[in-house]
């Protein structure tokens, strides 16, 4: 029997991008003449995709979470985000983990980050060749926690057994909805207790994850 497909979330799982997201949000808000929001608050909005992030920012500021301003800010955010990596970093052990796992597993990405910045950040960190399949938040009509993107990533990888690796409540819900075993990286952006996320594997450092 073939080894399972390993499908990875990106932000909070392979890359620590919250400082970058906060920095871009600060610039987008400044251009709109809106006040800056804290790092902690912006980080709490991460996980459900860029349109939802921007919507939550606007609602937090007492503004409509949809409409022309929302659309403009999403476009501006994405245009900056796919070119800026100064504050983004790989979590320790990610590169060695991917080298080890790629020898016997098919690897894929399933993220709510839009496709363009996803591919840009993978290329920036030299990760592109590890992943034959990349599903972004705008690749399909629905995004996580809907199971469609995860199922698509598995199908495009050749099908068979799979494990979804993530860091958050959204990822845990996605795995549950897709009826796929879940592996939890504890160092990401979750707010829920580890034991409440139903993970089959739990790891604090990427050197520890070898399913």
| Residues classed as catalytic | 9
Radius of gyration of the chain measured on its C-alpha atoms:
17
Rounded distance, CA 62 to CA 84, Å?
28
- Joined together, the tokens standing for residue 113 give 């980050």
Q: Are 22 and 74 in contact (CB under 8 A)?
A: no
11-32 burial by CB neighbour count: b if 16+ within 10 A, else e?
A: bbbbbbbbebbbbbbbbbbeeb
Q: How many angstroms separate the most distant Cα atoms in the chain?
A: 57
Phi, psi angles (nearest 5°) of residue 74? -60, -45
* C-alpha span between 207 and 93 (Å, rounded): 5
**Residues with Cβ < 8 Å from 160, sequence gap 6 or more?**
2, 4, 5, 154
Instruction: Write phi, then psi, for 109 (nearest 5 degrees).
Output: -115, 135
Residues 181, 163: contact at Cβ < 8 Å? yes
């Amino acid at each position: 029997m073939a080894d399972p497909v390993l499908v990875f979330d990106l932000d909070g799982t392979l890359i620590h991008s919250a400082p970058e997201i906060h920095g871009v949000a600060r610039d987008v808000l400044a251009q709109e003449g809106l006040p800056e929001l804290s790092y902690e608050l912006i980080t709490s909005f991460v996980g459900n995709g860029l349109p939802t992030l921007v919507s939550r920012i606007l609602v937090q500021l007492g503004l409509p979470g949809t409409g022309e301003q929302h659309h403009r800010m999403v476009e501006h955010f994405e245009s900056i985000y796919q070119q800026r990596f100064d504050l983004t970093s790989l979590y320790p052990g990610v590169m060695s983990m991917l080298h080890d796992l790629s020898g016997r597993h098919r690897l894929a990405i399933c993220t709510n980050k839009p496709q363009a910045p996803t591919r840009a950040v993978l290329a920036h960190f030299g990760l592109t060749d590890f992943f034959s399949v990349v599903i972004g938040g705008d690749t399909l009509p629905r995004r996580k926690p809907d199971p469609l993107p995860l199922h698509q990533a598995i199908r495009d990888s050749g099908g068979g057994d799979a494990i979804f690796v993530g860091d958050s409540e959204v990822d845990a819900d996605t795995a549950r909805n897709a009826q796929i075993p879940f592996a939890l990286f504890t160092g990401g952006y979750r707010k829920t207790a580890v034991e409440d996320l139903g993970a089959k594997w739990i790891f604090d450092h990427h050197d520890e994850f070898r399913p």
